[in-house]
Amino acid sequence: MSAAALVAHQFRFEQKVFWRSPAAVFFTVMFPVIFLLLFAGLFGNGEIEPLGIDAANYYVPAIITLAVVSATLVNVAMRMVEMRESGRLKRMHGTPLPTWAYVAGRICNAFVVSVLMVVIVTLIGRVLYGVEVPTTTIPALVVTLVVGTFAFCSLGLALSMAIPSEQAAPPITNFVVLPLYFISGVFAPETEIPDGVLTVASVFPIRPFFQAFLTAYDPLTQGAGFDWGHLAVVAAWGIAGILLAVRFFRWSPRHG
């Protein structure tokens, strides 16, 4: 089979598994939608003063950030730990399937789910809260999504190497992402977060990723909406993630 066919083959089965997994569907698809309804409902159409945009307009890119990080980093970390600890990864290594084809199939799955979430969240924002669909910044949106998928998938791979067991995967993953959502302004608006905390958050990848989305969705944005500075930070984290993942990659279960 050609390389592309191998990746497509793996992608097909990754999709089946994703949509059949109640935990994956709930946390990646349902959870962000519930949060969007909750936050936009709570804060309504009130303007977030210094930013000059509606709360709903703020939360659409915020919840997209949440959904994409969930579809990539969280999902990849949990699945890789499960694959490794169940012995399936080692078994797969015993077949002629190249490692990169397997990982690529998984990243394609994360990307497709991410695109779907961007569409769902954008549509809910438009229909329920009148948040405008950012037509002029679509190229910027796509680039942000591609860079983010790559970066957070590779960080998910790297994180999976640090997780010792399947039982430890949900708590460790949540321990990593939940505080970052909070300090990055994904849950509470960034205007409520002290500047010092935001500065710390800017060092980590979730905050700049959110800012890149926010730029694309901000009706006040002039031009194409590419946020290269923040995307560079996200990409740098992605490269660090790949290096770590390659350095610490292991096929065999960690126990025994």
Partner 1 sequence: MSDAVISVRGLRKSYGEVEALRGIDLEVRQGEIFAFLGPNGAGKTTAISVLEGYLERDAGTVEVLGEDPAGAGRDWRARVGFVLQECRMEPLLTVRETLEMYAGYYRRHRSVSETIELVGLGEKADERAGKLSGGQQRRLDVAVALIGDAELLFLDEPTTGFDPSARRAAWQVVEGLREIGKTVLLTTHYMDEAQALADRVAVIAAGEIIAAGTPDDLGGRREAETVISFRVPDAAAAGARAAVGGDWSGSNGRLELRTGEPTRALNELTAWAIANGVDLGALEVARPSLEDVYLELTGTDAS
36 phi and psi angles, rounded to 5 deg:
-60, -45
Nearer to partner 1, 105 or 208 (CB): 105
Question: Residue holding tokens 């002290």?
Answer: 194
d(CA 159, CA 162): 5
CB of 10 to partner 1, least distance (A): 8
Percentages helix, strand, coil for the chain, rounded to the nearest 5?
A: 75, 0, 20
* Least CB distance to partner 1 at residue 107 (A): 17
Q: Residue 252 Cβ, how far from partner 1 at the closest point, in Å?
A: 7
Closer of 17 and 133 to partner 1 (Cβ): 17
Nearer to partner 1, 84 or 230 (CB): 84
Residue 219 vs 250, nearer CB to partner 1: 250
Task: Tell me if 129 sits within 8 A of 46, measured CB to CB.
Answer: no
Q: Which residues of 9-19 are buried (b: 16+ CB within 10 A; e: fewer)?
A: ebbeebeeebe
Please answer whether residues 183 and 197 qualify as being in contact, where contact means their C-beta atoms are separated by less than 8 angstroms. yes
**Got the DSSP string for 81-111?**
HHHHHTTHHHHHHTSS--HHHHHHHHHHHHH
The CB-of-93 to partner 1 minimum distance in angstroms stands at: 8
Alpha-carbon span 175 to 85, nearest angstrom: 20
Closer residue to partner 1, CB minimum distance, 18 or 111: 18
Positions that interact with partner 1 (CB under 8 A): 1, 6, 9-10, 13, 16-17, 20-21, 86-88, 90-98, 251-253, 256
User: With contact defined as beta carbons under 8 Å apart, do 204 and 180 qualify?
Assistant: yes
Nearer to partner 1, 92 or 197 (CB): 92
For residues 236 and 146, is the Cβ–Cβ distance under 8 A? no
Token look-up 């860079």 returns 147
Please, what is the minimum distance in Å from the beta carbon of residue 253 to partner 1? 7
- CB nearer to partner 1: pick between 1 and 178: 1
CB of 13 to partner 1, least distance (A): 5
Tell me the residue type at 33.
Answer: V
3-state secondary structure of 187: coil
For the CB of residue 18, give the shortest distance to partner 1 in the complex, in Å: 9
